[in-house]
Amino acid sequence: DIERTEPVEADVRFMQGMIHHHAQAIRMTDLVPSHTKRRDIVLIAKRIDLSQESEIEQMRRWLEARDEPAPELHRVHGHAHGTGQGVLMPGMLTEPQLKLLAAARGTAFDRRFLEAMIYHHSGAVKMVDDLYAAGAGAEPEIDAFARHVDADQRIEIRRMQQLLGQLPP
């Protein structure tokens, strides 16, 4: 018999925290249509939005299946409500930083958005690293999810770095 690996507390905290992390990324992408005219920025923001929202639902299902509290995304409010609300995970922007982003338009917005989202995604990669460093992430479903988040965020970071390099000074 193969021994079944059960989730540990760090797995639960990771999933709950990552919901809040993803919710902030969605809050940032919601600004894009009204703040830029660049099609490439609109497209990457749409990709980020779709993947983050889908992953939030996946994390909620994982938590609920284990009878753990699952923060709920509230797009209207621009964040998730529930366990861990108000805690800044690695890479999350502060309210003043979010206000600066929201105040920018055009190329200034494009630059701030890409820099902020690269920082944000780097924080998600750190969260994955921290999960494994804590000896967690052994349950097959969370391991697969964490590896997916890590790979996806790294790919998007490279794309955003390329876009940033294409912006006028």
Predicted model pTM: 0.91
What pLDDT was estimated at residue 56?
A: 94
What pLDDT was estimated at residue 1?
A: 43
Residues 11 and 139 sit within 8 Å (Cβ to Cβ): yes
Q: Walk along the chain (169 residues) in steps of 10 and give the mean pLDDT of each run.
A: 73 94 94 97 96 94 93 68 71 94 97 98 97 93 96 96 94
Continuous H helices in the chain? 9-29, 32-35, 39-65, 95-103, 106-133, 140-166
What pLDDT was estimated at residue 84?
A: 62
What pLDDT was estimated at residue 79?
A: 60
